[in-house]
Amino acid sequence: MDKVNVGLIQMKCSDDLEENFEKTLEKIKDLAKSGANIICTQELFKSKYFCQVEDWSYFKLAEEINENSKTIKTLQTTAKDLKVVIIASLFEKRTEGIYHNTAVVIDADGSYLGKYRKMHIPDDPHFYEKFYFTPGDLGYKTFKTKYADIGVLICWDQWYPEAARLTALSGAKILFYPTAIGWLPSEKEEFGNSQYNAWETIQRSHAVANGCYVMAVNRVGYEKSPDGNEGIEFWGQSFVSNPYGELLVKGSVDKEENIICEVDLSIIDSVRTTWPFFRDRRIDSYQDITKRFID
């Protein structure tokens, strides 16, 4: 297909995991009715963003992710019934003591295409993800779905051009970024605009540099920190960028929304031909990219 309708789910989450899951399933159905072919959730959509604190009890939220798990079976049935591709961000328990921030991809016929495990794990105030998540080990890959060849990266991955490049080089024409990012209320007045602008700009630059579409899917709403501290005001503003870095659609800063956008994959060939960044890469000169720092 040259033209594909992409659906992004921007929503608030409650403390009730089942409620969040059912709410997301309803939004998937609504987007499918509106014509969406590929639908992506926000990061860790089944719960509030628990990484604001380091608390052993939150490991109980994790689940095994395979074709026999209840969540995957439900997503498979939903995808098959609606004939849509689903990208869902989940908290994965791999084995005792090893947990991942993981996104799964279900094809439009209900088949389980696999998963991506978040590679870059942050450790910042209210974003204490290194306590919970082991860095991914599945690499950067493209999932060949019924409607498009897509790549999935997760939140903190969005700041790294290397991740976007390697995913695009593996064949992805659309990059999806399930995300949970927002302002700390005490910082918003001074740094809020700069923080948001940096977030949007870096992802639009991935679209330009790789001649592909970028979909950023963020949550909304204020979530108080479990330890009583200031919490996070998630800034929403989920968006779709075309290969020129132009915004095709953008969500609100504070409202739940089902966002749908048509993208034309046929332009990618001409964009990559006109701006031949892949052709002109000096792969013979990049050896030092694997070093931590060049002294």
Catalytic amino acids?
43, 118, 155
For residues 47-59, b (16+ Cβ closer than 10 Å) or e, as one string?
A: bbbbbbeeeeebe
Whole-number Å distance between alpha carbons of 54 and 69: 27
Whole-number Å distance between alpha carbons of 133 and 124: 14
AA letter at 96? E
C-alpha separations of 5 from 34, 35, 81, 160 in Å: 9, 7, 17, 26
Whole-number Å distance between alpha carbons of 28 and 125: 32
Whole-number Å distance between alpha carbons of 243 and 209: 8
- Cα-flanking dihedrals φ and ψ of residue 176, to 5°? -105, 135
Whole-number Å distance between alpha carbons of 240 and 176: 9
